[in-house]
Chains A and B, each alone.
Chain A
Amino acid sequence: MHRRGSGLLLALLLCAGCRSAAAAERLTLATTTSVRDSGLLEHILPDFESREHVRVAVVAVGSGQALEIGRRGDADVLIVHSPDAEKAFLKEGHGAFRWRIMWNYFAIVGPEGDPAGVRGSPTAAAGMAKIAASSRTFVSRGDDSGTHVKELALWKAAGLDPSSFASWYKSIGSGMAAALRMAFEMDAYTLTDEGTYRSIPEVGEAATVKPGLVILLGGLDHPAEDLRNVYSVIPVNPDRHPGVQSDLARHFATWITSEGAAAKIRQYRIGGHPLFEPSPERH
């Protein structure tokens, strides 16, 4: 066992050696699970990878954690969608700059019959107020994710305080897929990103046992201004974190806000539905 152990140890060290030699060719991108799970990156990244001869290592975590990874210099570039937290990140000096890539719209989904009458509301906040007024079940992520933060902002805009809600309000501390499944089981409402909703057709259009959840407000088909969800790219600031691949990160930001990338983003669909609207802006 000793001999085998040391042989493997040697192999491990060699392997670590090759890795550090190849390290210059790896760009670490920290982003949110909703971006990864939408499948968009797999659709657009190969283009950048072959052009720059790099591997893009995608670490997909919650929005808050993605920014924290950047704050520690453990990623080279970020794609995130929580504007206020991003501004704080830049203000602290951790980001080189912040360019807009694209946007989409959150969606309020619920049962086809829409007992609370959310459909046709002028704003999402008004729709949420109707759910609260009807006391119909609402499933909340309750996990401080970008979507949860958005939901809380909408309640606030409607002049309501979730901590005062009765048992129709279910805070579950789980991911989007879990929340959608629960909403489907309970014929409840929830706030979702369009990508995750489209990627689980069995709780939506393709539900079999009973009618699935439908988009009542939001999404690219029924955009509501207060449901807009903006994605930005932020290269980590090399002055603050000297170890980062700043040139590559800058190339990445330039590429993902280019016309070519925009065309690919526009092309990307799940089940015939576009998920993102490119709106590149370098400022």
Chain B
Amino acid sequence: MSFDSEILLVAGRSLYVSGLATVLASAVGVPAGTVLGLRDFHGRRFLRSFLHALYGVPPVLLGLCLYLLLSKTGPLGGFGWLFTIEGMILAQFLLVLPFVTGLTMNAIQELDAALKDTARTLGARRGSYVRILVREARSGVLSAVMVGFGRAISEVGAVIMVGGNIRHETEVLTTAIVKETSRGNFTAATGLGLFLLGTSALVFLALTVLQERTE
């Protein structure tokens, strides 16, 4: 692969897949984590341990399971999502969701413990208290989103299985590195690796600036 417009397209695809997966996982995981962090309910500890256990799911195992589900002979074959961008987004969405949910839950819970008494002393009502809490937890929530994005943009096992690493279609930076390495093009692979590093560094820089602004 030459360092022409193709690498930009591949990088764009990486950002699109991992970015969209993270945004979707955040849209579900942040509200879910907030609710779970606020409500002290029966089984919360179990749920928390369960979410933490999901942090360790190997991407390649998730990829294999999704592969079998999305295959034409699998139960979700009707979607036609195997070897497509949509399948890759689904895979990373599932990979990222536990992180965003669990870390949001932790952030809310910690703040809740710290602020509850103060708020009660000041006589805050439940509704406004939650609003304050969520605002105060912004930085922690953004960290959760960043960890999720980091997991997505850097993983290769799930997207290479579900996407099939099809050139011009489902090839992303990590799978391109695998391909170039297996072809023995170590120079190209290293270049792609640096490009990946740069791309994710830019995103993290932007998110960090955003985080500092909210603090």
A5 close to chain B: CB less than 8 A: yes
- Taking the closest CB of chain A, its distance from the CB of B99, in whole angstroms, is 15
Assess whether B86 is interfacial by the CB under 8 Å rule.
Answer: yes
A283, B167: Cα distance in complex, Å: 32
The segment from B7-15, B24-32, B119-127 that touches chain A is B24-32
Q: CB distance B24 to A9 under 8 Å? A: yes
A37 lies within 8 A of B86 (CB): no
What is the CA–CA distance of A223 and B106 in the complex, to the nearest angstrom? 66
Number of interface residues, chain A, beta carbon within 8 A:
37
The answer to the question of A72 belonging to the interface, with a C-beta cut-off of 8 Å to chain B, is yes
Q: Is the interface of B mostly helix, strand, loop or mixed?
A: loop
Task: Specify the chain A residue showing the minimal Cβ separation from B26.
Answer: A1
Contact of A177 among B26, B83, B84, B182 (CB under 8 A): B182
Q: Are A16 and B184 in contact (CB-based, < 8 A)?
A: no
How many Å lie between the Cα of A19 and that of B71 in the bound state? Answer: 17
Verify B182–A1 contact, CB threshold 8 A: no
CB-based contact A1/B72 at 8 Å? no
- Contact for A16 among B24, B86, B165, CB less than 8 A: B86
Q: Does B89 contact A (CB under 8 A)?
A: yes
Distance of A228 from chain B, by nearest CB (Å): 24
| B27 and A5 contact, CB distance less than 8 A | yes
Question: A19 and B86 in contact (CB under 8 A), knowing A57-B166, A72-B72, A177-B182?
Answer: yes
CB distance from B28 to the nearest CB of A (A): 8
Query: CA A9 – CA B26 in complex, angstroms?
Result: 12
Mark B79-113 against chain A: 1 for CB-CB distance below 8 A, else 0: 01011111001000000000000000000000000
Residues of chain A with a CB closer than 8 A to B166's CB: 57-59
Contacts of A19 in B (CB 8 A): 84-86
Question: Do A37 and B183 have beta carbons less than 8 Å apart?
Answer: yes
In Å, the complex CA distance between A268 and B90 comes to 39
A1 in contact with B27 (CB, 8 Å):
yes
6 residue pairs, one from A and one from B, having the closest CB atoms: A5-B27, A177-B184, A59-B164, A200-B184, A73-B72, A175-B182
Known: A1-B26, A6-B27, A243-B77. 6 other contacts (CB 8 A): A5-B27, A15-B86, A19-B85, A37-B182, A37-B183, A200-B183
